[in-house]
């Protein structure tokens, strides 16, 4: 009985501790530096993409760059926390369509390919971001 209690307490203690963050994807993307290059590549692609560049005309790109790097880092298990507005707040009034969102995805894919990110790693990042689409479009 005593052994059982001790075991149960140990398990509770283990549960109470924060599980270590799984940062495998963050590392696969090259850490903060790799993510920074991907984000910069994506923003350059966006600037040259007539389908969606207009949406970014009044945006502070320098700030957006940092926000995106923080956000991607957090979503991939990196140590930095994203401290910006929620996705819903930051896209309010933009009225982005599904087409706009997919255009952004294509620019992100192209940036990752240029950086030599393997397809499977690209898919993992897209899989983390895809469920957030409803927080971005039609706001």
- Exposed, middle or buried by CB within 10 Å (0-12, 13-18, 19+), for 39? buried
- The closest of 104, 105, 91 to 134, measured between CA atoms, is 91
Is 2 or 120 the residue whose CB approaches other proteins more closely? 120
In the complex, minimum distance from the CB of residue 11 to other proteins, in angstroms, rounded to a whole number:
32
User: How many other CB atoms are found less than 10 A from the CB of residue 29?
Assistant: 25
Residues that bind other proteins (CB under 8 A): 97-99, 102-103, 105-106, 109, 119-121, 123-124, 126-127, 130-131, 133-134
CA–CA dist 128, 113 (Å, integer) = 18
Is 11 or 130 the residue whose CB approaches other proteins more closely? 130
In the complex, minimum distance from the CB of residue 12 to other proteins, in angstroms, rounded to a whole number:
33
Is 27 or 134 the residue whose CB approaches other proteins more closely? 134
């Amino acid at each position: 009985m005593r052994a059982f209690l001790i075991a149960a307490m140990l398990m509770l203690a283990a549960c109470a501790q924060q599980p270590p963050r799984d940062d495998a994807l963050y590392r696969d993307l090259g850490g903060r530096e790799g993510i920074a290059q991907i984000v910069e590549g994506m923003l350059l692609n966006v600037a040259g993409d007539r389908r969606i560049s207009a949406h970014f005309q009044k945006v502070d790109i320098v700030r957006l760059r940092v926000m995106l790097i923080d956000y991607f880092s957090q979503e991939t298990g990196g140590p930095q926390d994203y401290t910006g507005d929620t996705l819903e707040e930051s896209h309010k009034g933009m009225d982005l369509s599904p087409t706009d969102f997919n255009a952004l995805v294509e620019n992100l894919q192209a940036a990752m390919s240029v950086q030599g990110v393997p397809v499977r790693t690209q898919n993992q990042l897209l899989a983390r971001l895809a469920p957030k689409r409803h927080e971005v479009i039609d706001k």
